[in-house]
Structure 1
Amino acid sequence: MASPAQQLPPGWAAEWDAANQRYLFIETATGRTQWEPPAQGPTDPIDAHGPSVSPPPTMHGHTKRRQYAAGQTQAYYGAGDALAPEPSYGVAGGAQQQQPVPSGQLFTPGLAAEQQFAAQQQQAPQPQYHAPPSEQPQYINAPGFGQEPVYYPPTAPINQLADQFGQMGMGQKPLQLYTTNLLTSPPDPRELARPPPEIRLPPNSCITTSPYANAEYSYQRSTLNAIPTTSSLLNKSKIPLGLVITPYRTLKEGDQPVPLVTDTVIARCRRCRTYINPYVQFIDGGNRWRCCMCNMSNEVPQLFDWDQVRNQPGDRWARDELNHSVVEFVAPTEYMVRPPQPAVYVILIDVSHTAVQSGMVATATRTILENLERIPNEDERTKVAFVAFDTSLYFFSMPPGTTDTTMLVVSDVDDVFLPKPTDLLVNLSEAKASLESLLTRINDMFQDNHTVGSALGPALQAGFKLMAPIGGKIIVLSASLPSIGAGALKNREDPKILGTSKESGLLQAASPFYKTFAIECSRAQVSVDMFLFSAAYQDVASLAYLPHYTSGQTFFYPAFNASRSEDAIKFAHEFGEVLAMPVMLEAVMRVRASKGLRMASFHGNFFVRSTDLLAMPAVPTDQSYAIEIQIEDTLTAPFVVLQTAVLHTTCYGERRIRVITLALPTTSSLSEIFASADQVAIATLLANKGVERSLTHKLEDSRDAIMQRMVDILSSYKSSMTAAGAGASAQLAISENLKMLPVLVLGLLKNVGLRQSAQIPPDLRAYAQALLTSLPSQTLIPYIHPTFYSLHNMPPEAGTVGENGVIMPTPLPLTSERLERHGLFLIEDGQTIFLWIGRDAVPQLIMDVFNLPNYEVLRGGKMTLPVLDNPFSQRVNAIIQKSREMRRGVYYPHLYAVKEDGEPPLRLWALSCLIQDRADVLPSYQQFITQLKDKVNGANNY
Structure 2
Amino acid sequence: MASPAEQLPPGWAAEWDATHQRYLFIETTTGHTQWEPPAAGSAETENAPPAGVTPAGGHGKRRQYAAGQTQAYYGGEAAPDPAYGQASAGLGVQQQGGQLFTPGLAAEGQFANQQQIAQQGGGTQGGYYGQGEPEYLNQQPQQYGQPPVDALANQFGQMGVGGQKQFSLYTTNLLTLPPDPRDLAQPPPEIRLPPNACISPSPTANADPSYFRSTLNAIPTTSSLLSKSKMPLALVITPYRSLNEGEEPVPLVTDTVIARCRRCRSYINPYVQFIDGGSRWRCCLCSMTNEVPQLFDWDQVRNQPGDRWQRLEMNHSCVEYVAPTEYMVRPPQPAVYIFLIDVSHAAVQSGMVATATRTILENLERIPDEGERTKISIICYDTSLYFFSMPPGSTDSSMLVVSDIDDVFLPKPTDLLVNLAEARGALEVLLGRIGEMFQENTIIGSALGPALQAGFKLMTPIGGKIIVLSSSLPSHGAGALKNREDNKLLGTAKESGLLQAASPFYKTFAIECSRTQVSVDMFLFSSAYQDVATLACLPHYTSGQTYYYPAFNAARSEDALKFAHEFGEVIAQPIMLEAVIRVRASRGLRMASFHGNFFVRSTDLLAMPAVPQDQSYAIEVQIEEAITIPFVVFQTAVLHTTCYGERRIRVITAALPTTSNLSELYSSADQIAITTFFANKAVERSLTHKLEDSRDFILQKLVDIISAYKASMTSSGAGASAQLAISENMKMLPVLILGLLKNVGIRQSAQIPPDIRAYSQALLTTLPSQLLIPYIYPTFYSLHNMPPEAGTIGEHGVILPPPLPLTSERLERHGLFLIEDGQTIFLWVGRDAVPQLIQDVFELPSYDALRGGKATLNLLENQFSQRINAIVQKIREMRRGVYYPHLYIVKEDGEPPLRLWALSMLIQDRADVLPSYQQFLSSLKDKVNGASGGY
CA distance in 2, matches of 1:91, 1:889: 54
Once the two structures are TM-superposed, the CA of residue 98 in structure 1 deviates from its matched residue by 4.4
CA 1:107–1:210: 2 relative to 1, 3 Å:
farther
Alignment of 1:22-41 (within 5 A): none
Asked if residue 847 in structure 1 is aligned to residue 828 in structure 2, the reply is no
Q: Is the 8 A contact 2:335 2:374 kept in 1?
A: yes
Q: Is the 8 A contact 1:109 1:173 kept in 2?
A: no
Asked if residue 94 in structure 1 is aligned to residue 55 in structure 2, the reply is yes
Once the two structures are TM-superposed, the CA of residue 151 in structure 1 deviates from its matched residue by 4.6
1:856 to 842, 848, 852: 848
**Percent same amino acid at aligned positions?**
78
Q: What secondary structure does 2:399 align onto?
A: strand
| Per-residue deviation, residues 626-649 of structure 1 (Å, max 9, x unmatched) | 000000000000000000010000
Asked if residue 463 in structure 1 is aligned to residue 442 in structure 2, the reply is no
Q: Which amino acid aligns with 1:467?
A: M
Q: Is the 8 A contact 1:136 1:154 kept in 2?
A: no
Asked if residue 655 in structure 1 is aligned to residue 647 in structure 2, the reply is yes
**2:542 equivalent in structure 1:** 550
CA distance in 2, matches of 1:91, 1:798: 51
Please, which runs of 5 or more residues in structure 1 have no aligned partner?
A: 1-87, 116-133
1:488 to 461, 467, 480: 480
Q: What secondary structure does 1:938 align onto?
A: coil
2:117 to 133, 138, 155: 138
Q: What secondary structure does 1:381 align onto?
A: coil
Alignment of 1:561-576 (within 5 A): 561-576=553-568
Asked if residue 248 in structure 1 is aligned to residue 244 in structure 2, the reply is no
CA 1:420–1:136: 2 relative to 1, 3 Å:
farther
CA distance in 2, matches of 1:284, 1:217: 35
Q: Which amino acid aligns with 1:181?
A: N
**2:177 equivalent in structure 1:** 185
Q: Which amino acid aligns with 1:791?
A: L
2:148 to 128, 152, 160: 152
**1:831 equivalent in structure 2:** 823
CA distance in 2, matches of 1:574, 1:95: 51
Asked if residue 591 in structure 1 is aligned to residue 583 in structure 2, the reply is yes
Asked if residue 278 in structure 1 is aligned to residue 270 in structure 2, the reply is yes
**1:324 equivalent in structure 2:** 316
CA distance in 2, matches of 1:107, 1:630: 34
Q: Is the 8 A contact 1:518 1:545 kept in 2?
A: yes
CA 1:720–1:858: 2 relative to 1, 3 Å:
same
Q: Which amino acid aligns with 1:153?
A: V
CA distance in 1, matches of 2:269, 2:846: 63
CA distance in 1, matches of 2:369, 2:687: 39
CA distance in 2, matches of 1:316, 1:169: 31
**1:424 equivalent in structure 2:** 416
Q: Is the 8 A contact 1:471 1:526 kept in 2?
A: yes
Q: Is the 8 A contact 1:107 1:176 kept in 2?
A: no
CA distance in 1, matches of 2:52, 2:404: 80
Once the two structures are TM-superposed, the CA of residue 847 in structure 1 deviates from its matched residue by 0.3
Q: Is the 8 A contact 1:264 1:330 kept in 2?
A: yes
Asked if residue 533 in structure 1 is aligned to residue 533 in structure 2, the reply is no
1:365 to 357, 364, 369: 357
Once the two structures are TM-superposed, the CA of residue 402 in structure 1 deviates from its matched residue by 1.0
Asked if residue 930 in structure 1 is aligned to residue 891 in structure 2, the reply is no
Once the two structures are TM-superposed, the CA of residue 302 in structure 1 deviates from its matched residue by 1.1
Alignment of 1:678-689 (within 5 A): 678-689=670-681
Q: Is the 8 A contact 1:325 1:660 kept in 2?
A: yes
Q: Is the 8 A contact 2:824 2:885 kept in 1?
A: yes
**2:747 equivalent in structure 1:** 755
Q: What secondary structure does 1:153 align onto?
A: helix
Asked if residue 674 in structure 1 is aligned to residue 666 in structure 2, the reply is yes
Q: What secondary structure does 1:439 align onto?
A: helix
CA 1:637–1:408: 2 relative to 1, 3 Å:
same
Alignment of 1:511-526 (within 5 A): 511-526=503-518
Asked if residue 798 in structure 1 is aligned to residue 790 in structure 2, the reply is yes
CA distance in 2, matches of 1:169, 1:317: 28
CA 1:476–1:364: 2 relative to 1, 3 Å:
same
Asked if residue 906 in structure 1 is aligned to residue 903 in structure 2, the reply is no
1:882 to 874, 887, 897: 874
Asked if residue 865 in structure 1 is aligned to residue 857 in structure 2, the reply is yes
Q: Which amino acid aligns with 2:728?
A: E
Alignment of 1:282-301 (within 5 A): 282-301=274-293
CA 1:169–1:622: 2 relative to 1, 3 Å:
farther
CA distance in 2, matches of 1:100, 1:174: 15
Q: What secondary structure does 1:605 align onto?
A: coil
CA distance in 1, matches of 2:209, 2:910: 34
Alignment of 1:772-811 (within 5 A): 772-811=764-803
| Per-residue deviation, residues 773-822 of structure 1 (Å, max 9, x unmatched) | 00000000000000000000000000000000000000000000000000
Once the two structures are TM-superposed, the CA of residue 143 in structure 1 deviates from its matched residue by 8.4
Q: Which amino acid aligns with 1:657?
A: I
CA distance in 2, matches of 1:760, 1:626: 26
**1:217 equivalent in structure 2:** 209
Once the two structures are TM-superposed, the CA of residue 253 in structure 1 deviates from its matched residue by 2.0
CA distance in 2, matches of 1:791, 1:91: 54
- Comparing 695-704 and 94-103, the one that deviates more: 94-103
CA 1:878–1:96: 2 relative to 1, 3 Å:
closer
CA distance in 1, matches of 2:220, 2:116: 32
| Per-residue deviation, residues 405-453 of structure 1 (Å, max 9, x unmatched) | 0100000000000000000000000000000010000000000000000
Q: Which amino acid aligns with 1:329?
A: Y
Q: Is the 8 A contact 1:691 1:753 kept in 2?
A: yes
Q: Is the 8 A contact 2:100 2:173 kept in 1?
A: no
**2:168 equivalent in structure 1:** 176
CA distance in 2, matches of 1:444, 1:690: 46
How does the TM-score come out when normalised to structure 2? Answer: 0.86
CA distance in 1, matches of 2:212, 2:116: 30
Indicate the RMSD between aligned Cα atoms, in angstroms. 2.5
Aligned residues: 826
**1:917 equivalent in structure 2:** 909
Alignment of 1:624-773 (within 5 A): 624-773=616-765
Q: Which amino acid aligns with 2:172?
A: T
Once the two structures are TM-superposed, the CA of residue 376 in structure 1 deviates from its matched residue by 0.2
How does the TM-score come out when normalised to structure 1? Answer: 0.85
CA 1:135–1:614: 2 relative to 1, 3 Å:
farther
